[in-house]
Amino acid sequence: MFFLLRTLPGDLASLKLGVDANPEALTQVRQEFGLDQSLVAQYIEWISDAARGDLGVSMLTGADISQEILNKATVTLPLIGLASVLAILFAVPLGMYSALNFRNRRGIGVSAASQLGIAIPTFWVGVILITIFSVKFQILPSGGFPDEGWSSWVICLESLILPSTTLALGQGAILMRFARSATIDVIQQDFFRTARSTGLSRSQALRIHGIRNAIVPVISVLGVQIATLIVGAIIVESVFSLPGIGQMLLQDVGIRDYTKVQGTVAATTAAVFFVSFLIDAIIALINPKARTSQ
């Protein structure tokens, strides 16, 4: 990614100063950003700084990139967290319901809805939700985020309700399919039949044996989906004009602030790896089977 961004046509220094900048100023800027060194040297310097959490400064504004990402994360992280929780909360019960009824009409209806949910573009869900809750009933804000941040947390939460619901619906539709097939698997297992034969009702047996087994694939899918969740956050932030990492990334792409795009993408990738590691740890906690394997 670094080399892709650096080997592009056009000189970064002249981009910063404009086409008719004088040569001395250009050389000075090149020195300042280390652009006169070889690509490999630049890369080594950048990656060793990045490993210490220093992503450098923005090429255009001179602002500290790590600091800006941390600032914007106070919007993006709660959004993603809230959306994941919501997605699990509605995907697991619905998936189990459709698994238990997979031969009759209600179950098929629920899985048809999930099929539909996968096909609906995230931004359209956002626009529809705005139309219903902000334009028609005017009970929730259509977008934006308070400038003072989480000190006024009620308004913050209010402005995150619609965005996180939007994100959760698309994500939940995917999770639901996995919850459904996991539950179908559990129902056909021997231990489930044994539990039923001891006199437990279907829902009791499911509560004791089903949920634990069905939630493991759901959480691991959520781990694989974390990259999609971040892309979803970029889209949702754009729909609801939330000042998060995604919106910042899109703006930087627009003004071609390469160092910042690079820093943001690197930080996002690191976050994705960190989360998938975390998810593996969580799965090991819930599911004893995963501890011995690997």
> 19 or 119, CB closer to another protein?
119
Alpha-carbon span 109 to 122, nearest angstrom: 21
CB of 8 to another protein, least distance (A): 5
Q: How many CB atoms neighbour CB 187 within 10 A? A: 20
CB of 11 to another protein, least distance (A): 14
Q: Which spans of this chain sit near another protein (rule: CB under 8 A)?
A: 1, 4-5, 8, 102, 108, 111, 115-116, 118-124, 127-128, 130-131, 135-136, 142, 181, 184, 227-228, 230-231, 234-235, 238-239, 249-250, 252-254, 256, 258, 261, 265, 268, 272
> 195 or 257, CB closer to another protein?
257
> Where are the alpha helices (H) located in the chain, listed in sequence order?
2-6, 12-17, 23-32, 39-51, 65-100, 105-119, 122-129, 153-187, 190-197, 202-205, 211-224, 226-239, 245-255, 258-286, 288-292
On the CB side of 2, CA atoms within 13 Å amount to 14
Three-state DSSP at 57 gives strand
Alpha-carbon span 263 to 170, nearest angstrom: 28
CB of 127 to another protein, least distance (A): 5
CB of 3 closer than 8 Å to CB of 43 = yes
Alpha-carbon span 3 to 40, nearest angstrom: 9
| Greatest Cα pair distance in the chain | 86
> 21 or 272, CB closer to another protein?
272
CB of 186 closer than 8 Å to CB of 213 = yes
> 200 or 265, CB closer to another protein?
265
> 4 or 154, CB closer to another protein?
4
CB of 198 to another protein, least distance (A): 28
CB of 25 to another protein, least distance (A): 25
CB of 132 to another protein, least distance (A): 9
CB of 59 to another protein, least distance (A): 12
Alpha-carbon span 168 to 12, nearest angstrom: 39
Alpha-carbon span 161 to 168, nearest angstrom: 10
> 31 or 269, CB closer to another protein?
269
CB of 239 to another protein, least distance (A): 7
> 195 or 219, CB closer to another protein?
219
- What is the residue whose two structure tokens read 């700084």? 49
Alpha-carbon span 15 to 36, nearest angstrom: 15
